[in-house]
Copies of this chain bind each other. A is one copy, B any other.
Amino acid sequence: MPLPSSIAALTAALSKLPGIGPRSAERIALHLVQSESGAVSQLADAIVAARVKVHLCTTCGALTEISPCEICASPRRDASLVCVVERPVDILSVDKGGTFHGKFHVLGGKISPLDGVEPEDLRIAELEARLQAEPIQELIIALGTDVEGDATSYYLAKRLARAGLKITRIAHGLPAGTGLEFADELTLSRALEGRRELS
């Protein structure tokens, strides 16, 4: 017996979600068609509502329901410190650490000529405008550690350099709670390069 077509269609739509394979998608679809109608429409409504309400902060590019977003609007955030990240979700990762109290700027990608991503496709002009308008003293570049992340970091450091602005990049080295035997060569050589004096 083939699955009823509406279940097959739902399975196909669900399997496009990140981390959901065909089997999980089928399992979720079969669960949904047997769930209480109320709970099912609540889920559908939550999906649509989130997509409609959430947009990108016009200042920093974070996911937000209000603009400017909570972080941009907060007087308790250090306006002199801006952390530059690739994607809106990276803000959550940095913020979960709880040690960073500055503001953010989302680039929207990394320079990657092979994928057709040029500097003008990123929110760099918006960052330059913020450097003019806001009392920013330090930009912390927190991009990934792949080739594109490296290239974009150096590009930004060169393009945004101006008197009175410190441009830094987050450290590369051993992750917490691991041993040398688990680190690859590049990580180890970067950890050596980035060594700091014990005091």
Contact = CB atoms under 8 A, between A and B. Distances in A.
A30 B95 CA distance: 16
Interface in A71-124: 71, 88-89, 91-92, 95
Interface residues of A, number: 55
A186 interface: no
B19 A53 contact: no
Interface of A: 1-7, 9-10, 13-14, 16-20, 24, 27-35, 37, 39-54, 62-65, 69-71, 88-89, 91-92, 95
Given A4-B64, A64-B4, A95-B1, A33 B9 contact: no
6 contacts: A4-B53, A10-B46, A30-B88, A33-B50, A35-B51, A40-B47
A50 B9 contact: yes
A24 to B, nearest CB: 5
A154 to B, nearest CB: 27
B6 A91 contact: no
A9 B54 CA distance: 12
A88 to B, nearest CB: 7
Give the copy number. 2
A73 to B, nearest CB: 11
A interface, by DSSP: helix, strand, loop or mixed? helix
B32 A24 contact: no
Given A10-B46, A19-B27, A34-B88, 4 more contacts: A4-B54, A6-B49, A7-B63, A44-B47
A14 B43 CA distance: 7
B48 A40 contact: yes
A92 B26 CA distance: 11
A43 B40 CA distance: 12
Nearest to A56: B34
